[in-house]
Structure 1
Amino acid sequence: MKVTGEASNGKEAIELCEKQLFHIVILDIRMPIMDGLQAARIIHSRWPDRKVLMLTTFNDDEYALEALKNGASGYMLKDAEPQELIKAIRSCL
């Protein structure tokens, strides 16, 4: 696994997706300018083959359902163990 891009908000994540091919995009729910839910919806509609994993502090069923509805392949809490994050990334692919 290799990190090939980094964005500080959803708008930047979309701009990166326009310039680079990513197998998986990891987004947070809350980000400035454009949140992860809105970014996930746009990324999924423009590049349906790219997988989106939501990584967040919000253990909330409504956020998880909204993320999945917007095209996310997975939803994971930030306090998960590193091995769990690797497992979640691999399961999205």
Structure 2
Amino acid sequence: MLLNFAEPGGIDITPWADRVQLVDAKYVGKWELPVLGAVTPPNAVLIRPDGYVAWVVGLSDLELPAALTVWFGQPRVANALTW
């Protein structure tokens, strides 16, 4: 699951859409984390199938495709029509 806390529709996971659910979410305020305390929520959080966080990002991060590939396999390529 990919939780998108940024602009709805701002993250494209189309090549992994058959394996990863994208959820646009909203959270107001700070998160309270054990050990770290209050933190500003990230723009997106990728949650592994076992429930652990695999990846956290700000808007400028470009590592999402790599994280999706590591945890959910190679992206699907649209099938070309053959005539």
TM-score by length of 2: 0.31
Structure (1 or 2) with the greater strand fraction: 2
Larger radius of gyration: 2
Identify the structure with bigger relative contact order (alpha carbons < 8 Å, sequence gap 6+).
2
TM-score by length of 1: 0.28
Structure (1 or 2) with the greater helix fraction: 1
